[in-house]
Structure 1
Amino acid sequence: NKITESDETNNEKTITFSATSLSDLVVQDITWTPTNPSIGETATFTATIKNQGNGSSSSSRVYFYLDGSTSYLTYKNFGGMFASATTTVSFTWKAQSGSHTFKVVVDKDNTVAESDETNNEKTIAFSATSLSDLIVQNINWTPTSSSIGDAITFTATIKNQGNGSSSNGYVHFYFDNSNTHYTYQSFAGITAGSTTAVPFTWKAQGGYHILKAVVDKTNAVIESDESNNEKNITFSTVALPDFIIQNITWAPKSCTVGDTITFTATIKNQGTGKSNNGNIYFYFDNSNTHYTYQSFAGITAGSTTAVPFTWKAQKGSHTLKALVDKDSTIAEIDEKNNENTVTFSVVSLSDLVVQDVTWAPIKPSIGDTVTFLLTIKNQGTGESSNGNVYLYLDNLNNVFATVPFIKIPSGETTEVSFDWIAQTGSHTIRMSVSEGTTKTESDQTNNEKVITILARDTKPPQISLNSQIKEYNKNNVLEEGEKLDISYGAYDDSSGINSIKIFINDKLIDLKNMDGTYTKMTDSLPMGEYVIKVIAVDKASNKAEETISVTVQRTGPSVYFGSTKTEIKEGENAIIILSAVNPIGNPPMNVQLILKPPSGVSIYKTDWIKGGVGSYEGEFVLEPGDIKGISIGMCVNQPGTHYIDSEIYYEVEGKRIVQRDRIELILTPTPTPKQPPGFEAAFALAGLLFVALLIKRRKR
């Protein structure tokens, strides 16, 4: 107390301390994400650990406990921490439904020296999940308008209107208040606010229906509301059919007793939907028992189907009723319009057919008269009227013959005949039987018969054959060295020519293969006998042959007959020359030369012997190689054209041959005085002409 104070009693204070700075671990905070996890969703919890002491801590563990359990759920290690430092430790957990507590304990076993061991844990309470809420939002289908039997696809839209995601689930579907589901479909978990579509198919049935969809029927999915899981709809997916018997037809329209009649009922679906398969029943003459029934396939809206059946015709008037869907097994718009009735009659009608056809000759030749015999039968139940058989040739529509017949009783026959001139080739003859216009047959389709007949070509071709001498001497004698101009040909009006061949002494010299006339010039022919033959064959293989024989004679004398002038003036003279030469190699030959001047001319000089009236003659024996020639000096007195004729007679191998010729002299009326040339000069000129001719002949 060296210092004097007013209060000497308050001068001290006592503290307690440790020589070491200790850590102090606390669970500062616990967080989780997502904050509203759905059932089954993974939630991540994070604990923030703080060292609020003055010293660093060593590493340690954090333990997690769920809902007050004394057994930890899990633990996590963390490293040492400086004073005032923090660290985070996380773990995951699959969210479960309901409210929960989580406790986090740090350094549970006090392995870390702390200044305070009583503040090492923290507990939180939370609602672990946001629950889903599944509803059937709507149900739709396609197609919205369908027919019975069509496949319809229904689609239920499932919505999760809760705050949490749902797990996987099922939708069950029920028709028409049934307690048994028609089908069910699964779906995957749905997040909050999302939807999913669940489809299924169904075969459409007639009428109205109720469809109920129930989601999570067994409450397997935890929801915030379990009372809103179903939806009902009432619908009519089917547009109904409506059957009517549109008409009833039959064929043949005119029928006779015993005929098979085909009735056809046309069923129309005048509704808006397709029908199922069905049956149609047929009743005759107001009977309550159906005669027959026929099935038909489903009919689309607006379409028709034809249902036929057959019946053996009975005599008299009848009714036929057709009734579709008799038992109303097919749902329709109108069930009262399903029948139709017709009245018809059956009479006794004739039925004419060509039963048989014969003809003679069976194998006719072209041009033959063929007689046909037709047997017509009435195979109907009634008598026919008078009628005709119409005949057509080769599919032509023009009738070439009409043969009448009188009425034919039922079951009887009659015969008619007609003639036809056979024509070339194969032919069809169509015979059509017809009654009078007032009578109808039970069958109009069987009145014709067609036959094929072949007219044979037996006639050989016609041949033409002639020849003309291409001669040097105008004696109409074929002499050695001369040629023949042969005209030949053949015709066939039936089948036509196949070939024409011409031969000389059996050697083919020409060939043609069609109708016509042809010419062929031979080479120069030596002396001898020749046979010219033509053979023609037609296309039916008929053959014709024709021959001519010719003889090539030894060459006769070469003759020159000419005038020094062919046109002269009045008062002028002309010299007429006639000469002959016997070729070397020929035997001696007697030759007679005759020259016949016309009237109106006068002879002023000649060395000929005057013969008959107005003629001059000379006769010689010509040795081989001899030449004889004579001439006449002539003066023309009258203007105009004058003809001077010559004849040469000679014998070759005992045969007397004559050769004739003619020259023309024209006298003009204007006189031109002129001194006539000397006779010797005329003869010299004639000699020169004759020598020139001889040289030409020998060169031939």
Structure 2
Amino acid sequence: MIITLLVPGIMPAMVAADEDSPSEDDGNSTLLLPDLVIDDLSWSPVTPETGEQVTITATVRNQGDTASGVTNLAFYSNGDNIGERSVPEIEAGDSEKISYSWIQETESQVEISAKVDEEKSVEETNEDNNGIAAGYITFKKTKLPDLIISSLEYTANPRPGKFQDIYISVKNQGTETSEVTKLVLYVNGSPYDDWQVPALSKGESTHFSSAWTPLLEGSAQIRAVVDGDGLVAESNEGNNEKTATVTVAEEFLPDLIIEDLVPESTEAEEGKNLNITLKVKNQGTAPSEAVQAIYYINGTAPSQEDIQIPALSENKGTDIIFSLIPDREGQMEVRVSIGSGKVIPDSNRSNNQFTKIIDVKTILPDLIIESLSLNPEAPKIGDNITFIASIKNSGLRDSANSELEYYINGTNTTQNAKVSVPAIAAGGTAEGTFNWVPEEEGKLNVRLIADSGNTIREEEETNNERTETVSISKQASSITGGSSGPSPGSSSSKSSSMGSGVSKEPAKNVEVKELDTRNIMSGYHVKYDFAKNVTCITYVEFDPMKTFKKTTATVEVLKGKSIFVQKQPPGRVYKQLNIWLGNKGAGREDSLKNAYTGFRVEKEWIGNNSVNESNVTLLWYDSKWKSLSTEKIGEDEDYVYFRAKTTAYSCFAISEYTGEEGTVEAGEGIQETLRSWEGTGKAILNSSAEKEGSMEKKPMGVAKILLAVSLPLFMILVEYFILKKKI
């Protein structure tokens, strides 16, 4: 392509454009632009006086995909420009606070607004979202006083019948001199004393005192009110009083109580450490000393360190965390006692204990029928069929020995029996095997029941059954999913495996995989959470543009390079993997938007390889390796967690990527491969495992060989019959 540059006064220049350089509309590039918006517009002070300086602050954020250039920010009062400020370059996702100081000389109410990039000096993805109106500022011309009770003091630990002094201070914290008014002292709601308060200038205070003799033990309320009749016009009429509660007693002592015991988990586990928060309060009339407490589990005090309770002032509380280990399942009684059997100064020693019942989780096994296979796979009449049932313990505790019961029902056929199943460790599997010889053609329903005698207490008692359908004929047949259907990870049939997530990756190259199923409906955000945490992918989320209903997401962590990838990924590679969304195209680029993939990387790998965390990147493959925008979102003791903005779902790699170019290869990309799967469920890939030992079947070649052999034989036979007839 030739580009001609025309500049006035200069000869035309012709430049040859690189044919491989992407243009805006060639479909191979995306124009990244900033997008400036104003998130917030505020001012201080909120209610200014006329002539008082007001500082207006705008928060400008770049919500676009790339950094913005330097621009301007204009401030307005009732639509009139009152000033401008420069806005520096802002990186994508960042924000800047821009302030402008302004003085309004007249009493009025004005609307404050602002607009960024008013002259459109920055090209943005959206030019219509640069302004904001924040509300109205009311400027008052009149200055007013503001009378408050700045202090209310009394003698500590008052005793009945003893003389006490009460001291009151009144202050004018307003902006104008106050008028003469009145101060009243109330005791237990009744007027006790009063004074005339003189005019006070701005910031001036005055002081008063009153003699008080309490008569009875108990609580007494003291309240001082200035200008209670509202004789003085003030800027704030709601801050004219102060109240204090006084405890009158012959003797002042602390009183420690336990308000609650709060376990960190609503269901603890036997043998595992449990943190409990002890809430302690001193509700007495004097500070308490530092003391100790101990705990009891079901009435017994196990070996432990004392719980340290610090000194507490009166009416103050604190939270103390201590740990214990539950010794049994079910309900556990936890009792905490303050003082550890020692005598402590306390006004009430009968309230120093607290008891709480905590549920301790009952951990159980959970037996399911994972799959059913048979040998031969295509049984015929008279075959001695070996049925192999895989029983899995999906619970968290080992199971005991159990029995597998099976029922075979078909045309003129009914048989049932039980098979012994050994103990199965948590997460493990065992096999139950039985044999049967069919005598007639037809379909058989094979029903399997794990722990048929209900001898094992399980976490879930309703998932022990599975039914499969087997076809018996003179020709080979196959096993297909029955009413319960194959469970995730089973290999009962090709159609069911395709339904549980597209994958033509050879099993020998898959190190581990995890599945999750969701309904995909256009317009509803979808998030797949891989809760078992067996892979490095933690979640997949996106906004569907099409409806696929029930769809399974499959994550495969690979042992080496995928068969769909022609080149190794660039950088120092942590993991190579595939992520598939069903087999109907749900993971294609044109089926989703706003997609993000969460993943984690072991800290041990980062440390052992001196990896820079900021360079950890999720790479996506489609004809070449492409780096995805990746950010760190957190970490724990073992892993660093990341999130990557994702284009589509197919082949990926996690790598320490420092900008190496991906290698462009010929041939169709993964997205085209997914399109070829749609409808037929088959893919034509140069690297696919579809070919058998790299040998191509050539039926026409076989036909030619047969023709070459049979034609001469036929001619010989014809000639023989002709000669015989002549003879």
TM category, shorter: under 0.3
Computing the radius of gyration from Cα coordinates, the structure with the larger value is 1
TM-score under structure 1 normalisation? 0.26
- Using the size of structure 2 for normalisation, the TM-score is 0.25
> Which has a greater percent of strand?
1
